[in-house]
């Protein structure tokens, strides 16, 4: 199997290293890392037009087949991988992440992690987005990622959307298990909060999201996470049902 891994936190982020290590535990597969050179959070599925995009082969902190940094967005990384770097043989699956911070509720619309996975799905590649709770331990994610990957890969390939995986930051002993088919909550997990300071003309605003802790819909991804469960669910793309000829 040929696995493409990308993210939105940048090629040097801890999360993408952990995701690559988990993918490496699945067997003797090709693992290609094609990720942004810099932090690219909240870029959704933005792409770069009419500008040169730097592509650089990199050494990587985990054992992989090839690793490249891209001077563009997460979606650019997927496009460049499919059309240029891996054009001789397309990847069988795409893993995006592991993101620093949940991608749940309405926040998935802004997510570069989810945007990269959607780019893969739109190009006929079964794609999976992985996120972990920010500021908290990665211990649970490290322990459960290989199992979750195997469960997802055992499912029938489907590119009408992506699988979106969110892992709480609790200790493994405190995790209550996995809840499947979680729907994105119709709220933002990170509520907008702007801090203002004076500027020479007008003011400067700095946004810091405040995590929601109550009032979330039953059966939603956020409800599962707040209760100490790993949340896994499908997120459809806007062109689901299209019969692609690739």
CATH number of the domain within which 124 lies: 3.40.1210.10
Q: Give domain status of residue 193, yes or no.
A: no
The full length of the chain comes to 246
Q: Give domain status of residue 195, yes or no.
A: no
Q: Give domain status of residue 199, yes or no.
A: no
Q: Does residue 242 register a pLDDT over 80? A: no
Which pLDDT score is estimated for 241? 45
The tokens 């995701």 sit on which residue? 19
Which pLDDT score is estimated for 238? 63
* 221: Cα separation from own chain's centroid: 15
Q: Name, in order, each residue with C-beta under 8 angstroms of 147's C-beta and a sequence gap of 6 or more.
A: none
What is the rounded CA–CA span in Å between residue 5 and residue 17?
A: 10
Q: Give domain status of residue 207, yes or no.
A: no
Contact 67, 60 (CB under 8 A): yes
Count structural domains, the chain: 1
| Predicted structure pTM score | 0.93
Q: Does residue 243 register a pLDDT over 80? A: no
State the CB neighbour count (10 A cutoff) for residue 22: 23
Beta strands 127-132; 161-167: pairing state = parallel
What is the rounded CA–CA span in Å between residue 50 and residue 111?
A: 23
End-to-end Cα spacing for the chain = 18
The stretch 68-96 carries a mean pLDDT of 97
Q: Give domain status of residue 200, yes or no.
A: no
């Amino acid at each position: 199997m040929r696995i493409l891994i990308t993210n939105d936190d940048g090629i040097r982020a801890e999360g993408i290293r952990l995701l690559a290590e988990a993918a490496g535990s699945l067997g003797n597969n090709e693992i290609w890392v094609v990720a942004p050179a810099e932090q690219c959070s909240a870029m959704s599925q933005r792409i770069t037009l009419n500008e040169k995009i730097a592509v650089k082969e990199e050494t990587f902190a985990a054992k992989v087949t090839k690793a490249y940094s891209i001077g563009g967005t997460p979606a650019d990384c997927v496009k460049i991988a499919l059309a240029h770097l891996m054009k001789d043989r397309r990847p069988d699956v795409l893993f995006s992440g592991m993101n620093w911070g949940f991608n749940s509720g309405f926040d998935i619309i802004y997510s570069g992690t989810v945007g990269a996975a959607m780019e893969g799905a739109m190009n006929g590649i079964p794609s999976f987005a992985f996120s972990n709770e920010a500021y908290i331990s990665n211990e649970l994610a490290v322990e459960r990622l290989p199992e979750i990957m195997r469960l997802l890969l055992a499912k029938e390939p489907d590119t009408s959307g992506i699988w979106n995986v969110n892992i709480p930051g609790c200790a493994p002993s405190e995790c209550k298990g996995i809840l499947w088919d979680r729907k994105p909550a119709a709220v933002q997990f990170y509520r907008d909060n702007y801090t203002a300071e004076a500027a020479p003309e007008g003011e400067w605003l700095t946004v810091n999201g405040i995590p929601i802790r109550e009032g979330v819909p039953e059966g939603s991804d956020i409800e599962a996470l707040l209760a100490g469960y790993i949340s896994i669910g499908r997120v459809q793309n806007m062109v689901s049902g299209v019969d692609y000829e690739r």
